Amino acid sequence: MSQIAARMKKVLAEIPADVKLVVVAKGRQPAEVIEAIDEGALIVGENYVQEAEEAQKQAGRRIQWHFIGHLQSNKARKAVGMFDMIQTVDSVRMAEEIDRRCAQAGKLVPVLIEVNSGREPQKSGLMPEAVEAVVADIGSLLNIRILGLMTMGPDRLDAEGLVPYFRATRRLFESLVRADTPHVEMKYLSMGMSDSYKVAIAEGATMVRLGRAIFGES
């Protein structure tokens, strides 16, 4: 059994059945991504449109592809055509551009709203207090569908240190569930990565994004 196969088996055994695994392919070769798919990965997350193009050429569309990086407006058209979900919407302007490209393509794309739970100026994502208003503003767009929230938390912290950020994002998620905004379905809470996914799941994550836990160190 290869190392990727062994790690996939371990992670899939640890993650509850109702939590979705997104295998993060950033910086990985298409052959590695294909091996993870062969070992049970159902969703692959890509940070860059260019990397995803090559991986998709080789792996095909037998699984879901999620965009999890910062989306530049000039890449929106390609992203809409390539991805089954965009997890990193963080402004009305970005949402409107995705919606426009979806309309041109005749496609409805699910999105998550990215929350900058650590309030870090160098990171993308909405400040927590801005999320509800943005969700209300873009919820009426016809060609995208808000299905939840995504967050990372500060890089400098260990898993336990991330608990307050995950917890605050979960509370925001729950508040949006109660708000019951038309055309918005709070279904996915995407948080937790290779060092923190167990804590994130304990704090309510329904989707985790793992790269190193599957592929090892770069």
Instruction: Report the 10 Å Cβ neighbour count for 56.
Output: 18
The predicted pLDDT at position 97 comes to 97
Residue 62's pLDDT is 82
Residue-wise pLDDT for 148-184, tens only, equals: 999 999 988 999 999 999 999 999 999 999 999 988 9
DSSP string, the chain: --HHHHHHHHHHHHS-TTSEEEEE-TT--HHHHHHHHHTT--EEEES-HHHHHHHHHHHTTSSEEEE-SPPPGGGHHHHHHH-SEEEEE-SHHHHHHHHHHHHHHT--EEEEEEE-TT--TTS-SB-GGGHHHHHHHHTT-SSEEEEEEEE---TTS-TGGGHHHHHHHHHHHHHHHHHT-TTEEEEEEE---TTTHHHHHHTT-SEEEESHHHH---
Inter-residue contact 198 to 14 (CB < 8 Å): yes
Q: What is the pLDDT of residues 67-80, one digit of tens each?
A: 999 999 899 999 99
Mean pLDDT of the 173-200 span: 96
Strand partners, 113: 89, 149
Q: Are 180 and 142 in contact (CB under 8 A)?
A: no
| Average pLDDT of the chain to the nearest whole number | 95
Provide the terminal-to-terminal Cα distance of the chain, rounded to the nearest Å.
Answer: 20
Give the tokens for residue 51: 């990397």
Mean pLDDT of 109-136: 96
pLDDT at residue number 79: 96
Domain ranges within the chain, ordered by starting residue = 3-215
pTM of this prediction exceeds 0.85 = yes
Q: How far apart are CA 50 and CA 138, in angstroms?
A: 27
- Pick one of 3.20.20.10, 3.40.47.10, 3.40.190.10, 1.20.1070.10 as the CATH number of 3-215: 3.20.20.10
Residues 45-68: pLDDT tens digits? 999 999 999 899 988 778 999 999
- pLDDT tens-digit readout, 37-46: 999 999 999 9
Predicted confidence band of residue 217 (pLDDT cuts 50, 70, 90):
confident
Q: Tell me which amino acid residue 157 is.
A: L
Q: What percent of the chain has pLDDT over 90?
A: 89
- Residues 35, 29, 209, 159, CA torsion sign: positive
Per-residue pLDDT band at 88 (split at 50, 70, 90): very high
